[in-house]
Amino acid sequence: MSDEKLMSKKKPAYPVSPGLDGYLAHYSRKIEIPIFYEDLLRFSGSVVVYDSDDVDTLWIRVYYSEFEREEIDKSLKLVYSILHSDGSDYIHQFLNVDAVDFCTFGNSKPFRIKIRNILNDNFTYFYIKKTDASRIYGLELEHMLSPYNLNFLVHEDTLIEEHIAGIPGDVFIKDMLPNCSEPEKAQLAKEFVKFNERCMIRLLGDMRSYNYVIVPVHDFDKVVYRIRAIDFDQQCFEGKLKVYRPQFFKENYQMVELVRNKLRSDSVDQYKLEERSIVAKRILSSGNRIKKLRKICKTDLISTHENISLLKEQIYELTLDMDFKKCTTMGEVLDLALKFVKRNYENVSMKQIIEQKIKLP
């Protein structure tokens, strides 16, 4: 199936509801910042950014008038301090804004800010985007249900996200996957199965290869790989269940082939079960925080009526849980999906406990 048929042409940005706004304030995600997304749109010119192979990266490097640049640089340094430090201006003297890049591709059209420490030339990035409730739910769910914590801030219609380090999936598949050893390919296949399952459980869509990164981790005498999402624009929006399963995107064909060639079907089932169990444990350990988020999401508008109707039917066909047919919002679909995973985990765990007790002398 082509991506054009799999995905909607355009996803709208949804406003932050009062309930979600209060949640963000309670968990210190909402904070005043000195610059807005619209401020960065006032650039006076730009140049195309090419990669090392002279391929257009779809980013443009923007520049501002001399009068505005000084104020923008000062504001961006303060945003960095709020995001990564105590919010004071003490560290500003050690920072330089090396570049402000603008992406013309995709829904979010983000600005990428490159900040360099002038004392040692270490640098990092952060992103400034338009606020979208769907994306915020995606970031929060990633923070709670994945192995990774996320740092982001919201102020009115502006969203600040930290950079997620890693090798872009499309670059890794093209340039590095062919040189991986056979054990490394088997380990990558395992990680893709787990990543695929995690995305489907929490309804994170559009995980084409350029929307996730591969993170190599050195472990004693070997390198293991982790797969991490970097784009949360398609959280709980699309109606087709396949959108939430990375295996169905043509950009991931080589990863799917790895799974087919390196893993037996019973191993695939084992890794799916492992990931569902881990997500269920994270749901339990997240306590009131995820309960509050799910409660707010259940009443929020983050998708279309057509998408909700289609997705709840397709998930019902997968789970045979009649409660999905009663859903009226995408948040209710998400809430039931997480409940389904948690309930199955708890039922299996209780069954094992009972069986172990019966076996005791």
CA distance 107 to 298: 24
Is the pLDDT assigned to residue 67 strictly greater than 90? no
Residue with tokens 């982790």: 226
Is the pLDDT assigned to residue 205 strictly greater than 70? yes
Secondary structure of residue 96 in the 3-state scheme = strand
CA distance 311 to 236: 10
pLDDT score for 220: 86
Count of CA atoms in the C-beta half-sphere (13 A) of 20: 25
Secondary structure of residue 43 in the 3-state scheme = coil
Residue with tokens 């640098």: 123
CA distance 233 to 236: 9
Among the ranges given (56-70, 127-141, 158-172), the one the predictor scored with the smallest mean pLDDT: 56-70
Please, which pLDDT band fits residue 107 given cuts at 50, 70 and 90? confident
What are the tens digits of pLDDT across the range 23-46?
Answer: 999 999 999 989 999 999 999 999
Please, which pLDDT band fits residue 354 given cuts at 50, 70 and 90? very low
Q: In what order do the strands lie in the sheet with 45-50?
A: 45-50, 56-63, 95-103, 111-117, 123-130, 158-162, 152-155
Widest CA span in the chain = 82
Is the pLDDT assigned to residue 285 strictly greater than 50? yes
Other C-beta atoms closer than 10 Å to the C-beta of 209 total 22
Alpha helices in the chain (DSSP H): 3-6, 18-26, 37-40, 66-84, 133-145, 169-171, 182-201, 253-262, 265-298, 305-319, 330-359
Summarize the confidence of residues 304-326 as an average pLDDT: 95
Please, which pLDDT band fits residue 126 given cuts at 50, 70 and 90? very high
What are the tens digits of pLDDT across the range 139-163?
Answer: 999 999 999 999 999 999 999 999 9
pLDDT score for 154: 96
Taking all residues of the chain, what is their mean pLDDT, rounded to a whole number?
Answer: 92
Summarize the confidence of residues 60-85 as an average pLDDT: 94
DSSP string, 159-184: EEEE---SEEHHHIIIIIGGGS-HHH
Which of 81-90, 213-222, 286-295 reaches the highest mean pLDDT?
A: 286-295
Please, which pLDDT band fits residue 350 given cuts at 50, 70 and 90? very low
pLDDT score for 348: 67
Secondary structure of residue 220 in the 3-state scheme = coil
